[in-house]
Amino acid sequence: MSVPLAAIVPVVVAAYAVVQVLLNYSVKRINRTFVSLYIVNGALLVGSLGVVAYHSHSTRYTDFRRMGNEMHNSTNLGLGYLLDAYNTNPLSAIVLKLVALTDAYDLLKVFSAFVLYSAIVYISYSMLMYTSDRWAVLFCTVFMLLFLDFAYAVVDNIRFFPAAAVASAALVRHMLSGARRWSTVAWCVVAALFHAALWFVVVIYCIAQLRLVWMRAVASIVVIAFQPLLLAAVEIWGGRSSIMWKMDLYFRPEDEHYQALASVEQVAFYAFVLFWCSGLLLAWRQLSCRVSLTPPRRVEYVGLLQLSLCFCIGSLSSNVTFVRFVPVFALLCMPVLAVCLTGYFAPNACRGSVGACGMRSRLFPHVVFLAALGLMALSATLRILYNYGAFYVT
């Protein structure tokens, strides 16, 4: 017996939200008990989605099928075969080999779901510790769960989105809690070793450390123009390395090898998401009291979001890169949404001029909330009616 994936994922997300609402009402303060139960609820979410991932299958070709063949071949050819196939992603080769040893290839999807949604829960926890607004954080968490494409991220693509979520969680932790830079860079490098496309995140984070305005402006222009610069590099070194061959497939507009994997509808949707995130950043500027990070962290965060936006704009002509990195940018914007909605659901509990209570215009919090709610509904509708159509659970 098989059940459409579209009938399972929303139910799991709804169950998580209901439990969290009950927790918010039953425990009045954010104390040790609340945090413990919050983590338990998050662990139940991760475990449930891991079970769903294990039993999920597709009626069309997916990257997971290719990886299944590679894991099968590695049983005779050894780890060296996978390291050669994933010479720019050595951690991927190691994970695939470990899964191949179990002879239960579906565990790779469980691993993907565990890493991805553990990172989402960690981002949610970081926002909770920073804003202390349980309702705003719950809204942002449900937004992330409905926005991310479970089928493509966990059952199909497998590698990119878990790695991207790890990098995003490390960056959010760095910006909100002041984690050490070497720790943040280390986690981003780990993500890049799992999927080479995440080296762009490492580069963007390093550029975000720049303090001078003119250097930021020059860096933004370069990031927007990265595609023609990269294609020029491909022309020079394209035949000498596999990474250049891969980048050629990712970014060359006339090449259809990867372009066909992303539909026009997906690109249009993510273009709308990019527009929405840009509007969210403008709404953030309406706060009379911006995010009360220490000055260096605030400068880094603004720079990181600015460069990420420029990177997404620069990748617009590549269906593959655009639809992969816009969700990463959206994850990085979630703390901004949480701050903008702080005090919106419980204004009497708002302390000082934070979030919705600190906006110059009383209309702005409603605009931010309704825009986010509309995008959440649109995301859920598109996932259920379109993205999950070829996937089922047995």
| 3-state secondary structure (DSSP) of residue 393 | strand
What's the pLDDT at 246?
61
What's the pLDDT at 28?
84
pLDDT, tens digit, for every residue of 333-353?
999 898 888 877 766 555 444
- Phi and psi at 333, nearest 5°, equal -85, -10
Task: Describe the crossing of helices 134-147 and 319-340 by its angle, rounded to 10 degrees.
Answer: 170
What's the pLDDT at 351?
47
Q: Assign residue 343 a region (left: φ > 0; alpha: ψ between -120 and 50; beta: otherwise).
A: left
Q: Answer yes or no: are the C-beta atoms of 184 and 167 closer than 8 Å.
A: no
What's the pLDDT at 235?
66
The residues of the chain scoring below 50 in pLDDT are: 255, 257, 288-291, 293, 295, 351-353
- List, in sequence order, every residue forming a beta bridge with 362; answer none if it has no partner: none
Burial class (CB in 10 A: 0-12, 13-18, 19+), 264: exposed
pTM: 0.90
- Phi and psi at 83, nearest 5°, equal -65, -35
Distance CA 381, CA 393 (A): 19
What's the pLDDT at 234?
64
pLDDT, tens digit, for every residue of 137-182?
999 999 999 999 999 899 988 999 999 999 999 999 998 887 788 9
Distance CA 139, CA 21 (A): 10
Distance CA 110, CA 101 (A): 15
Helices (H), the chain: 9-26, 32-54, 63-77, 79-85, 90-102, 107-131, 134-147, 150, 160-177, 181-194, 199-207, 213-224, 226-237, 242-251, 256-259, 264-284, 295-314, 319-340, 363-382
Distance CA 163, CA 149 (A): 15
- List, in sequence order, every residue forming a beta bridge with 354; answer none if it has no partner: none
What's the pLDDT at 37?
95
Give how far Cα 35 sits from Cα of 28, 40, 67, 126, 173, Å.
12, 9, 38, 11, 17
Calculate the CA 257 to chain-centre distance. Answer: 24
